[in-house]
């Protein structure tokens, strides 16, 4: 006769559910990253030629990101309560929580860029330079999504290098508007500065996602 401890089946079922939900965290984070990337892509289109999604669509997309981020966070916290995670699982959960916050901020800033881009802006060549900054930032976030999808532990260095290009474009614009804004109406220049600053912040958050991938793999963040 084979002896089974009382509640053994229930325990196995709980462990199985825990493992299954743990494995679902990364795909959920990748989907959230893709949504944030899509928001930024629309914002850059608005910046380039005004053809991106409308304000209502952007706000709806941001609400979806917020809802998905909250759902992932709740799932992580519930997993922590199901059983005592081992160090590797705990590191994964901590990384996912941080990544979710970073992605949520990227979406928020993308929404700001889309809104500011509909306001008056300086003419050429400044708008073209701002659009170039937007494209560099979008390329960085695209790399971030790819790194997250592939679980690339070494992504932080490559993302930081791409962020250097974003920072270079940002500081070049900063110097230009400091010189040129004194000669014209301040409103358009303020809008340009706000957009550039939000794009630069998005780059920083994308790099932070790469650092969390390194952390999740057991390296330093």
Of 184 and 1, the one with more pLDDT? 184
Of 83 and 80, the one with more pLDDT? 80
Of 174 and 208, the one with more pLDDT? 208
| Residue 188 domain-assigned (yes or no) | yes
The overall longest dimension of the chain from CA atoms, in Å, is 92
Number of domains in the chain: 1
Is the confidence at residue 37, as pLDDT, over 90? Answer: yes
Is the confidence at residue 11, as pLDDT, over 60? Answer: no
Confidence of residue 219 (pLDDT cuts 50, 70, 90): low
CATH number for the domain spanning 161: value is 1.20.58.220
| Residue 110 domain-assigned (yes or no) | yes
Between 74-78, 95-99, 173-177, the lowest mean confidence (pLDDT) is in 173-177
Classify 50 in phi/psi space as left (phi over 0), alpha (psi -120 to 50) or beta. left
| Residue 146 domain-assigned (yes or no) | yes
| Residue 2 domain-assigned (yes or no) | no
Give the pTM.
Answer: 0.89
Range of the domain at 58: 8-216
Q: What is the mean pLDDT of the chain?
A: 88
| Residue 85 domain-assigned (yes or no) | yes
Is the confidence at residue 4, as pLDDT, over 90? Answer: no
Is the confidence at residue 90, as pLDDT, over 60? Answer: yes
| Residue 124 domain-assigned (yes or no) | yes
**Residues 6+ away with beta carbon under 8 Å from 182:** none
| Residue 221 domain-assigned (yes or no) | no
**Residues 6+ away with beta carbon under 8 Å from 47:** 113, 114, 117, 127, 130, 131, 134, 195
> Can you give the pLDDT at residue 136?
97
> Can you give the pLDDT at residue 13?
54
| Residue 111 domain-assigned (yes or no) | yes
């Amino acid at each position: 006769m084979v002896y089974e401890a009382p509640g053994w089946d229930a325990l196995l079922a709980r462990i199985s559910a825990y493992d299954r939900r743990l494995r679902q965290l990364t795909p959920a984070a990748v989907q959230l990253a893709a949504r944030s990337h899509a928001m930024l892509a629309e914002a850059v289109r608005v910046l380039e030629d005004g053809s991106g999604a409308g304000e209502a669509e952007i706000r709806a997309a941001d609400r979806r990101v917020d809802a998905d981020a909250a759902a992932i966070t709740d799932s992580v916290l519930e997993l922590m309560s199901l059983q005592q995670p081992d160090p590797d699982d705990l590191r994964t959960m901590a990384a996912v929580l941080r990544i979710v916050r970073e992605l949520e901020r990227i979406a928020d800033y993308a929404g700001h860029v889309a809104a500011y881009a509909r306001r008056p802006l300086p003419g050429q060549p400044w708008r073209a330079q701002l659009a170039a900054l937007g494209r560099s930032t979008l390329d960085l976030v695209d790399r971030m999504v790819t790194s997250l999808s592939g679980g690339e532990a070494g992504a932080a260095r490559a993302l930081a290098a791409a962020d250097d290009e974003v920072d270079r474009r940002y500081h070049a614009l900063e110097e230009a508007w400091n010189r040129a804004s004194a000669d014209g109406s301040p409103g358009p220049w303020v809008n340009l500065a706000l957009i550039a600053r939000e794009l630069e912040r998005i780059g920083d958050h994308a790099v932070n996602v790469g650092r969390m991938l390194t952390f999740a793999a057991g390296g330093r963040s």
